[in-house]
Structure formats: C-alpha cells, structure tokens
Structure 1
C-alpha cells in the first residue's frame, strides 16, 4: 500500500495540522490553510478603522485573509514566512 507522500499527494501531518490550527488557521482540503488577517480581527473586536492600507491609502481591506494554497510544501523558505520550513 502506498503512503500519501509516495503517491504524490500532499497531506498535512497530524502534528503540522494541529500547529496551524493552534495558530488560528483553518485547514482547507488537504494542502491549504487560511486565516483572517490580524488587522481585520482587531477591527472587528475594537471597531478600529482597519489596517494601514485603509488608513493611509483608502483601500477597503476589511475582508483580508492570510492564505496559502501550498501550506504543506512550499520550497521558497522566505525569512518572514509563517510556515514551518
């Protein structure tokens, strides 16, 4: 029997899935994750104007999200990335 990794399917390990969920991400499918933007959350809780995009540029950004279609296997290794690379 082939494992998910052997068959080319990208799946979250239980440990990685728990870590993302603990960080307030919702798992979508078997390889994606999404979170409501921190600025949006703060605006909803406090009634503040929203993020800097709205404050400085007038861009209505009240529905922003932080998401990735490849939470399991991104190989970019950006310094600022939230993924566990």
Structure 2
C-alpha cells in the first residue's frame, strides 16, 4: 500500500510519533510518500531517520514559482491564456 504524508515543515525534532509510524509502515512493506511545504530550519535530525527510505519532496520556492509562472505566461500556458484559447473555439 502507498501512503502519503504532507507536512508544513519536515523533518523537525518534535515529530517523533510520525517518524516512528512511518518507519514501522516501511518495515511492514508499505511505500511512504513524503512531502513538505518547507525544508527544515535546522540540520538536526534524529539518528533513526537515516533508516527512512522515503525521499522527501519539497514544494518549489517562491522564486522558482515566479520563474515558472513567467515562462508559462510567455509560452501561452498560463491558465488565463488556456481558458481564453478554449473559450474562443
């Protein structure tokens, strides 16, 4: 079974219950998908997290999102341009 966890910030030292749960689920053969809006503020991590197999995916930074938005607008792939193109058909 594939299970997803979404955090506002991960990893943080106070999430020991969630960490233990994810490690146990992986041990039982489940696939964990980890996502976080923001990276950790500190490099400190519990030692046992080295056993966690799931990669952590972070949301793009505001700067990267702005860059992608400018490119999409320039290429006519921004939602407003797509809607206009569809409505004109």
Q: Same fold (TM over 0.5)?
A: no
The structure, 1 or 2, with the larger RCO (C-alpha pairs under 8 Å, 6+ apart) is 2
Structure-2-length-normalised TM-score: 0.24
Greater strand proportion: 2
Q: State TM-score, norm by structure 1.
A: 0.24
Q: Give the structure with the higher percent helix.
A: 2
